[in-house]
């Protein structure tokens, strides 16, 4: 198969790519596929009534069997548009454009979790209201306050007192950002779980623990990871969350609570470095195997329907 890894950044070649891109490239080549790493920033869409297409440095990208989107949060809108054009051309994509967009929108994610019976911490979504005291009463203290589009632990604050919570909420309002307020799960003790989903399986999982008093366990914030085995309930919750987002390949972040596993978010572009090094699992190979199977299945259906 001809596979495109649609990535980001200034580098145009594999050697200048991220760990995840390099591992996916190596896994695909090892399975006999032809692979190109394409910088989505350098792509553009030529739109006309005849045959719209994705262009890259003057070349039409019309010979791929599968596209693996590695779209970073800072380029969600444009990256999703490029992915959408590949979809419109009938190319299999490992993450649908609509799924990428909704997974980046915390408001929409929470609404989809609720609709699909995915348990989450008690949450309030707010833009601007004078009823700040009521918001605090509804969630309780301490509470987690997040911006709607923060990533890697950024834009997340733990407010332990009423005064602190009120100050942070009002500061976010002044900044004109959408705000999420969530209950603080004390028993999680600064840890969470990353479950890496591929298809209908969790192929790797690790527990991430903060190393100091920081309540954020994200590895980008200095957390430490250790391989763990999920309970049957945690595995089911992770798969249900992935399905709710429409993402067959994703990272699902959970926390353990007295109410059972609670989902924090679903990541459409999960990094491979932490999970592979901690668990020793070749997640990249599992991803390529799944993509290979489903791209071939789609192509067979297209030929039959032609």
Using the predicted structure, report yes or no on whether residue 153 has a pLDDT greater than 90: no
Same domain, 160 and 196: no
Q: What is the 3-state secondary structure (H, E, C) of 127-158?
A: CCCCCHHHHHHHHCCCEEEEECCCCCCCCEEE
| Average pLDDT of the residues in 124-145 | 90
pLDDT at 48: 77
Residue 306: band (very low, low, confident or very high) from pLDDT cuts 50, 70, 90 = very low
Residues 131 and 223 in one domain: no
- Residue numbers of the domain that contains 11: 2-95
What mean pLDDT comes out for the span 152-165?
A: 84
In a domain? residue 130? yes
Identify whether 42 is part of a domain.
yes
> Is residue 49 assigned to a domain?
yes
The answer to whether residues 15 and 64 belong to one domain is: yes
**Band of the pLDDT at 71, cuts 50, 70, 90?**
very high
Residue 39, SS3 per DSSP: strand
Same structural domain, 257 and 180: no
Count of alpha carbons within 13 Å of 109, Cβ hemisphere only? 26
- Of 95, 130, 148, which one is at a domain's C-terminal end? 95
Pair (254, 220) in one structural domain: yes
Tell me what pLDDT residue 92 has: 97
The percent of residues in the chain predicted with pLDDT above 90, rounded, is 70
Going by pLDDT thresholds of 50, 70 and 90, the confidence category of residue 11 is very low
Q: What is the CATH number of the domain that holds 69?
A: 3.40.50.20
Domain of 236, CATH number, reads: 3.30.470.20
Mean confidence (pLDDT) of the chain: 89
Among the residue ranges 63-67, 126-130, 251-255, the one predicted with the least confidence is: 126-130
Backbone angles phi, psi at 31, to 5 degrees: -95, 10
Reply yes or no on whether the pLDDT at 5 is more than 50: yes
> What pLDDT shows up at residue 140?
93
| DSSP H or E run through 44 | strand 43-46
Instruction: Report, as an integer, the average pLDDT of 96-101.
Output: 97
More confident residue, 290 or 126: 290
- Give the pLDDT confidence of 214-237 residue by residue, as tens digits: 665 555 555 688 999 999 999 999
Q: Is the pLDDT of residue 15 over 70?
A: no
Q: Is the dihedral of CA 21, 25, 26, 31 positive or negative?
A: positive
Residue 231 lies in a domain: yes
Shared domain for 175 and 192, answered yes or no, is no
**Cα–Cα distance for residue pair 158/238, rounded to 1 Å:** 25
Span 114-138, mean pLDDT? Answer: 91
- Residue partners of 181: CB distance under 8 A and separation at least 6: 123, 124, 126, 135, 139, 143, 144, 145, 146, 169
Segment 243-269, tens digit of pLDDT: 999 999 999 999 999 999 999 999 999
Residues in the chain: 306
Q: For position 139, what pLDDT does the model report?
A: 94
Kindly tell me if the per-residue pLDDT of 95 is higher than 70.
yes
C-alpha–C-alpha distance, residues 113 and 105, integer Å = 12
The CATH number covering residue 135 comes to 3.30.1490.20
Least confident of 15-29, 134-148, 171-185, 215-229: 215-229
- Mark whether 244 and 282 lie in a shared domain: yes
Decide: 53 and 61 in contact? Cβ < 8 Å: yes
pTM above 0.75, yes or no: yes
Which one of 42-56, 172-186, 234-248 scores highest in mean pLDDT? 234-248
Kindly state whether residue 91 falls inside one of the protein's structural domains. Answer: yes
Judgement on whether residues 175 and 217 belong to the same structural domain of the protein: no
Asked if 93 and 269 count as a contact pair (C-beta separation under 8 A), the reply is no
What is the mean pLDDT of the segment spanning 281-294? 97
Residue 103 within any structural domain of the chain: no
Domain count, the chain: 3
Q: Looking at the predicted structure, is the pLDDT value of residue 181 above 90?
A: yes
Interaxial angle between packed helices 97-104 and 76-88, expressed in degrees from 0 to 180 and rounded to the nearest 10? 160
- Sign of the alpha-carbon dihedral angle for 254, 266, 122, 244: negative
- Do 225 and 266 lie in one domain? The reply is yes
Check whether residue 284 and residue 192 sit in a common domain.
yes
| Four-residue CA torsion sign, 135, 221, 94, 287 | negative
Instruction: Answer yes or no: do 6 and 91 share one domain.
Output: yes
Name the H helices within the chain: 19-30, 76-88, 97-104, 106-115, 132-139, 162-175, 232-245, 273-279, 283-305
Confidence of residue 305 (pLDDT cuts 50, 70, 90): low
193 and 266 belong to one structural domain: yes
In a domain, 296, yes or no: no
282 domain-assigned:
yes
């Amino acid at each position: 198969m001809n596979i495109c890894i649609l990535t980001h950044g200034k580098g145009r070649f594999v050697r200048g790519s991220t760990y995840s891109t390099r591992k996916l490239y190596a896994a695909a080549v090892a399975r006999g596929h032809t692979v190109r790493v394409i910088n989505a920033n350098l792509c553009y869409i030529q739109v006309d009534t005849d045959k719209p297409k994705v262009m890259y440095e003057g070349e039409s990208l019309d010979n791929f069997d599968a596209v693996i989107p590695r779209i970073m949060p800072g380029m969600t809108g444009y990256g999703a548009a490029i992915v959408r054009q590949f979809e419109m051309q009938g190319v299999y994509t490992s993450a649908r454009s609509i799924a990428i967009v909704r997974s980046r929108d915390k408001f929409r994610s929470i609404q989809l979790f609720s609709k699909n019976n995915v348990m989450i911490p008690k949450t309030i979504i707010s833009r601007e209201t004078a009823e700040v005291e009521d918001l605090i009463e509804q969630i309780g203290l301490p509470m987690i306050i997040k911006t709607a589009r923060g990533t890697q632990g950024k834009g997340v604050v733990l407010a332990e007192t009423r005064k602190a919570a009120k100050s942070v909420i009002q500061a976010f309002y002044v900044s004109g950002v959408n705000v999420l307020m969530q209950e603080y799960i004390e028993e999680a003790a600064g840890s969470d779980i990353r479950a890496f989903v591929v298809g209908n399986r969790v192929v790797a999982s690790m527990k991430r623990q903060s190393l100091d008093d920081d309540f954020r366990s994200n590895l980008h914030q200095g957390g430490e990871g250790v391989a763990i085995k999920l309970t049957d309930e945690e595995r089911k919750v992770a798969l249900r969350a992935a399905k709710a987002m429409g993402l067959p390949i994703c990272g699902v972040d959970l926390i353990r609570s007295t109410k059972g596993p609670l989902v924090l978010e679903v990541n459409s572009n999960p990094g491979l470095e932490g999970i592979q090094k901690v668990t020793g699992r070749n997640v990249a190979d599992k991803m390529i195997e799944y993509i290979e199977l489903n791209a071939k299945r789609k192509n067979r259906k297209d030929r039959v329907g032609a």
